[in-house]
């Protein structure tokens, strides 16, 4: 089966709500297993999405992500972001 590793845009920013959902929807269609990085506090959303789409979160852990300034809305040269990484098995 196909394994997908993804770092979708966080769906929590204004104007970008739900952006991570489109990435998860694609994983449902093509992957047996996916690993995805989400902003901290996304566990209930990811677990619910997986369950609603025939998947199951098998592992989850916190990780700190250092992001360099890339966009106009970034105010610092580098910012550390609290994230969560999820391993999901699809097609259960």
pLDDT digits (tens, 9 = 90+) for 26-53: 999 999 999 999 999 999 999 999 999 9
What is the C-alpha separation between 72 and 66, in angstroms, rounded?
Answer: 17
Number of separate domains in the chain: 1
Q: What pTM does this model have?
A: 0.84
The string of DSSP codes covering 26-80 is HHHHH-SEEEEEEETT-HHHHHHHHHHTT-EEEEEEEEEEEEE--STT--SSEEE
List the CATH number of the domain containing 31. Answer: 3.40.50.150
Q: Is the pLDDT of residue 23 over 80?
A: yes
pLDDT at residue 86 is higher than 80:
yes
Question: Residue 22 is part of which domain span?
Answer: 3-89
């Amino acid at each position: 089966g196909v394994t997908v590793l993804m770092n979708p845009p966080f769906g929590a920013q204004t104007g970008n709500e739900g952006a991570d959902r489109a990435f998860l929807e694609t994983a449902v269609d093509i992957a047996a297993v996916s690993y995805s990085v989400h902003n901290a506090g996304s566990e209930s959303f990811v677990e619910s999405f997986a369950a609603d789409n025939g998947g199951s979160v098998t592992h989850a852990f916190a990780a700190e992500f250092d992001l360099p300034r890339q966009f106009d809305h970034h105010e610092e040269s580098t910012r550390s972001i609290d994230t969560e990484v999820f391993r999901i098995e699809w097609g259960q």
